[in-house]
Amino acid sequence: MASTLLSLASATPSASLSFHEINKGKLNLGCINKEKPNPFIKAKSFGRVSMVVASNVSHFEGITMAPPDPILGVSEAFKADDHELKLNLGVGAYRTEELQPYVLDVVKKADKLLLEKGENLEYLPIEGLAAFNKVTAELLFGADNPVIKQQRVATVQGLSGTGSLRLAAALIERYFPGAKVLISSPTWGNHKNIFNDARVPWSEYRYYDPKTVGLDFEGMIADIKAAPEGSFILLHGCAHNPTGIDPTPEQWGVIADVIQEKNHIPFFDIAYQGFASGSLDTDAASVRMFVARGMEVIAAQSYSKNLGLYAERIGAINVVCSSPEAAARVKSQLKRIARPMYSNPPVHGARIVANIVGDSALFKEWNAEMEMMAGRIKNVRHKLFDSLSSKDKSGKDWSFVLKQIGMFSFTGLNKAQCDNMTNKWHVYMTKDGRISLAGLSLAKCEYLADAIIDSYHNVS
Amino acid sequence: MEDEPHHCFSFLPTFLPLHILIYTPNPVLPEHSRTKSAAVFFHILTMIISRFLRRGILTSTSPTRRRSWWDHVTPALKDPINAVTDAFLADPCPYKINLGVGAYRDDKGKPVVLQRVREAEGKIGATNFLESTSTAISSKLVEESAKLIYREDSDVIKERRFIGIPALSGTSACCIFAEFQKRFYPDSTIYFPDPTWSSHRNIWGDAHVPGRTFHYYHPDSKGLNFVALIDDVKNAPDGSFFLLHPCAHNPTGVDPTDEQWREISSLFKVKNHFPFFDVAYQGFASGDVERDAQAIRIFLEDGHSIGCAQSFAKNLGLYGHRVGCLSILYNDKIQAVVIKSQLKQISNTMYGSPPIHSISLVSKILSNPNIKALWLKEVKVMATRIQIMRATLREALERLRSPLNWQHITNQVRMFCFSGLTPAEVDQLAKEFRIYMTHDGRISMAGVTTKNVDYVARAIHEVTASDRDTKILHNIGAYKVNTDICSTSLGTNKTRARGMNLAL
């Protein structure tokens, strides 16, 4: 659904403007103002008696349209196109080689088991399913991690990555008023919306270098250093969305150094654990490195991609604290924030994840399926790189396709070139030059290579 | 993070106000000021000694205790309703009874999954959910929810004058509306009935919309304070936002009559107030979904464009699945698109969308007329059992020749009963009889069964039959007892956390 697309794929940042900002200077029909006459009430006089009669004007006359979702636009345009070679590279959901959606076998099995068990549908506690919270923290930090053993992690089940990020944002707003969150430029479109709606100020740190189609590491470090002490630095744990560009382990080390030096708090968004490299442990390396240094860390998880549970909305927010008492207090406040939002989280997705991760046979199967999915993406990257290198005689270095990781790839194409991709080649992608390799099959790699080469060289 | 040098008296500013709380003079006992000063001195001394001890222990057995980013985070107050459940769960007594949470139980005291839900779950399985079908299912849910609450043959439905989004049950429907209200009426307030569901305040509070109350419950008659209600509606500034419970008011179970609703509706028209209905019990109040929506139908007849938060937690037994609907009525089609875009934007930054599993279940059940009819029968069974329990409980209390009037048990409607028990009596019920309920005396009738109704009646009679007047005098003492019960039976988190704050 549209909202699923939005939560999966990166969007051109659309800052949500408040009603006031939009209507500065304009007559505000909505507000009841003592000085101005209320447009909803018309005073009618009947001789000496005046009666007030409500008019038919809606209470919500003054509401303006929210900005349209850029990803949805791409999908809609794709649907409307009936060209036989059309390709949808806007979608942020995994597709098979036949470009069909994929429900993991382990999920089907787990679902069947749940049906057979016939468990009741009672409310979960506010913090979510205990079995789920246990396995999700262990998955991220490692079951033997001291922070788990010492009970220093506050884990609360969240509504996928979005909901988990929102809980953390609300916690920041409440306990660190005025503190800023630094987000990468570019980043997943919904990040800015989440922090805006949670009333948390944010600014950007340099990340993508269009010249190298790689990481602007110096810029990133400089911007993190320049931020006021005690800022929250939002980091993508692996498979950066939308660029696909991840720091190397050495670079992660330097990032951790700077964050420690400036007394910042690292805030990880891990939406692709297992999906990036195919290994759950490898993809958690960055988070684990920070935690191993004794840092206090916030980490939001999502099972949308790696378990294909997009629509079930299952994730978690973890706050690693320096003591179990702090973790208990933080957990209680996360619960306090969640209760007025939705009372308690949904049970179905949590049970599926708990069943899969908690059962060694299913867990093994899951690992295998994840390797398969990540493997397909890697194969597609290779094929695309080979096609580009062999077809393009200009000597341009296309190796960034291989260096980048995860579902997405920043091609380095500008807006005009992206338009050419769509108009001439019927390749649908977002205007920032991002393609979703999940929507690409091996069979179509050569076609895509032709399109990219043409757009890059012949359009400016 | 560097270690800050610990100052042993740095805790004093936090500690001093606390010790004053502890040593509030007991209104019954005479004051002994010398004893009090001595107690204060020894208390301070104990704190200093234990602080040094704690510091010594920490440095010798654990790695350097670093300052945490979260040191200033205080433990949140326990949710009052969940606190009851926690206390109940922690009690090892085999004959304990939970009359706290408003979740339906059958006559064996077991949670119920509706037959229709089980069947629908079997059909859904792990289907391939394409984004497009997900959108279709969401729209179906909104449509069916609207038909249920506004009535299928109403003008609102025929002309499609509603816009809605699926929500995570009633809570999130209210939450999204609160944010929406704040966004477009930043200076507005919301009027709640007094009393109302405990979460309402926090929902609008977290959206930074101040809450006010209007008179609702009359503690003497244990019924509706209609005259004061009308007065409050009249005196509120024109165009105010009101939250209304259309049936089975939570927590009192007291509902206005149809005539009273009509009067409220026409007054709302004159004042141009915005009515927002929190519909958590449609079908559960009378057993009839149409009857329970009567208040809303009355408002629609008067031409109000209302807002509605619907929950399928109780009437479809989908508590843990978190599914409901937020709908808003509009006047013109352009507005519809605009409102929907804003609602979607708000929900997208909170949770995206409710789980597809939940939405599919509801959509499947409501959209098939045969299945829907069978569902309505199941709802009637649940509502009837509760009605029978109400009558049985009242009879049992009257048979015990209770001196108090228990008419309100059957006068009030359905899931809850506002018993009129004082906090002290509620505590006594928990301590002596292992019967748990919220401190406002709200009994969840769903927790009463044919097996335990006599015991519950005897227990209530026992705590209320003794002299009530002396108990009210000791209310302050009773509240202190409450917190002690909570701290000891719910674990030491609270006391430990308090200790943590003082150690800073």
Q: Mind listing the pLDDT tens digit for each residue in A235-253?
A: 999 999 999 999 999 999 9
In chain A, DSSP finds a helix count (H) and a strand count (E) of 18, 15
* pLDDT for residue B495 is more than 60: no
**Contact (Cβ atoms closer than 8 angstroms) between residue B303 and residue B272:** no
| Residue B298 to residue B289: CA distance in whole angstroms | 15
Distance from CA of A415 to the nearest CA of B (A): 25
Average pLDDT over residues A114-121: 87
The two three-digit tokens of residue A53, written as one number: 């009669």
pLDDT for B446 equals: 86
More confident residue, B444 or A19: B444
| Residue B279 to residue B289: CA distance in whole angstroms | 11
Position A59 confidence tier, pLDDT thresholds 50, 70, 90: low
| Strand B97-98 with B435-436, pairing | parallel
Which residues on A lie below 8 Å from B184 (Cβ)?
Answer: 19, 30, 60, 62-63
pLDDT for A360 equals: 93
Distance from CA of A270 to the nearest CA of B (A): 16
| Residue B29 to residue B27: CA distance in whole angstroms | 6
Which residues on A lie below 8 Å from B500 (Cβ)?
Answer: 323, 325-326, 329
**Contact (Cβ atoms closer than 8 angstroms) between residue B105 and residue B446:** yes
* pLDDT for residue A294 is more than 80: yes
Q: Is A202 known to be catalytic?
A: no
Q: Do A1 and B205 touch (CB under 8 A)?
A: no
* pLDDT for residue B498 is more than 70: no
* pLDDT for residue B366 is more than 90: yes
- Return the residue of B nearest to A336 by Cα: B76
Other CB atoms closer than 10 Å to residue B84's CB: what's the count?
24
Say what percent of chain A tops pLDDT 70. Answer: 85
- Short-list A302, A50, A241, A144, CA closest to B351: A302
| Residue A360 to residue B131: CA distance in whole angstroms | 31
| Residue A275 to residue A271: CA distance in whole angstroms | 9
Q: Do B172 and A163 touch (CB under 8 A)?
A: no
pLDDT for B338 equals: 84
* pLDDT for residue B22 is more than 60: no
Distances (CA, A) of A406 to A345, A410, B224: 28, 11, 61
Mean pLDDT of chain A: 86
Average pLDDT over residues A134-152: 96
* Tens of pLDDT, residues B156-192: 999 999 999 999 999 999 999 999 999 989 999 999 9
In chain B, DSSP finds a helix count (H) and a strand count (E) of 21, 13
Q: Do A3 and B79 touch (CB under 8 A)?
A: no
Q: Do B70 and A330 touch (CB under 8 A)?
A: yes
Distances (CA, A) of A113 to A209, A348, A351, B126: 48, 12, 10, 11
pLDDT for B267 equals: 97
More confident residue, B477 or B366: B366
**Contact (Cβ atoms closer than 8 angstroms) between residue A378 and residue A335:** no
Q: Do B134 and A1 touch (CB under 8 A)?
A: yes
ipTM tops 0.95: no
The two three-digit tokens of residue B230, written as one number: 């009308």
Position A58 confidence tier, pLDDT thresholds 50, 70, 90: low
* Tens of pLDDT, residues B367-382: 999 999 999 999 999 9
The alpha-helical segments, DSSP class H, found in A275-321 are: 280-283, 285-292
Which residues on A lie below 8 Å from B206 (Cβ)?
Answer: 170, 337, 340-341
The two three-digit tokens of residue A202, written as one number: 């944010």
If phi over 0 gives left and psi between -120 and 50 gives alpha, with beta otherwise, what is residue B253?
A: left
| Residue B343 to residue B183: CA distance in whole angstroms | 11
Q: Is A82 known to be catalytic?
A: no
The two three-digit tokens of residue A336, written as one number: 């306090």
- Return the residue of B nearest to A126 by Cα: B82
Position B47 confidence tier, pLDDT thresholds 50, 70, 90: low
| Strand B307-311 with A232-236, pairing | unpaired
The two three-digit tokens of residue B266, written as one number: 């026409």
| Residue A199 to residue A298: CA distance in whole angstroms | 18
HEC profile of A218-280: HHHHHHHHHCCCCCEEEEECCCCCCCCCCCCHHHHHHHHHHHHHCCCEEEEEECCCCCCCCCH
| Residue A121 to residue B114: CA distance in whole angstroms | 10
Share in percent of chain B as helix, strand, coil (round to 5): 55, 10, 35
Position B48 confidence tier, pLDDT thresholds 50, 70, 90: low
Rounded to 5 degrees, what are φ and ψ at A368? -65, -45
| Residue B271 to residue B237: CA distance in whole angstroms | 8
Interface test with B, best of A341, A344, A352, A369 (most B CBs within 10 A): A341
Mean pLDDT of chain B: 81
pLDDT for A62 equals: 67
Average pLDDT over residues B254-260: 95
| Domains of chain A, first to last | 71-102+365-458 (3.90.1150.10), 123-358 (3.40.640.10)
- Return the residue of A nearest to B203 by Cα: A340
If phi over 0 gives left and psi between -120 and 50 gives alpha, with beta otherwise, what is residue B208?
A: left
User: Token pair 């709640």 is at which residue?
Assistant: B192
* pLDDT for residue B402 is more than 50: yes
Q: Which residue among A109, A180, A192, A305 is the active-site one? A: A305
* Tens of pLDDT, residues B101-142: 778 888 888 888 888 888 888 777 656 555 556 788 899 999
* pLDDT for residue B477 is more than 70: no
* pLDDT for residue B308 is more than 80: yes
Q: Which residue among A69, A216, A246, A269 is the active-site one? A: A269
pLDDT for B20 equals: 46
Position A20 confidence tier, pLDDT thresholds 50, 70, 90: very low
pTM: 0.80
| Residue A366 to residue A80: CA distance in whole angstroms | 36
Residue A320: its H or E element: strand A315-320
Orientation angle between helical segments A360-391 and A445-458, nearest 10 degrees? 50
- Short-list B250, B261, B174, B304, CA closest to B440: B250
Average pLDDT over residues A253-259: 97
* pLDDT for residue A132 is more than 60: yes
pLDDT for A120 equals: 86
More confident residue, B214 or A66: B214
Q: Is A269 known to be catalytic?
A: yes
pLDDT for B114 equals: 87
Out of B65, B111, B202, name the one closest to residue A340 (CB): B202
CA A50 to chain centre: 57
| Strand A315-320 with A153-158, pairing | antiparallel
**Contact (Cβ atoms closer than 8 angstroms) between residue B419 and residue B442:** yes
- Short-list B95, B88, B27, CA closest to B485: B88
- Residue A38's Cβ-side half-sphere holds a number of Cα atoms within 13 Å equal to 22
Q: Do A40 and B239 touch (CB under 8 A)?
A: yes
**A321 DSSP 8-state letter:** -
B110 Cβ contact list (under 8 Å, min separation 6): none
**Contact (Cβ atoms closer than 8 angstroms) between residue A196 and residue A15:** yes
* Tens of pLDDT, residues B293-302: 999 999 999 9
The two three-digit tokens of residue B277, written as one number: 């209905």
**List of long-range contacts for B204-209, beta carbons under 8 Å, 24+ apart:** B204/B174, B204/B178, B205/A340, B206/A170, B206/A337, B206/A340, B206/A341, B206/B175, B206/B178, B207/B175, B207/B178, B207/B179, B207/B181, B207/B182, B208/B182, B209/B178, B209/B181, B209/B182, B209/B241
* pLDDT for residue A313 is more than 70: yes
| Residue B127 to residue B364: CA distance in whole angstroms | 14
Distance from CA of A322 to the nearest CA of B (A): 6
| Residue A181 to residue B21: CA distance in whole angstroms | 39
Position B324 confidence tier, pLDDT thresholds 50, 70, 90: very high
Average pLDDT over residues A409-421: 93
Q: Do A341 and B69 touch (CB under 8 A)?
A: no
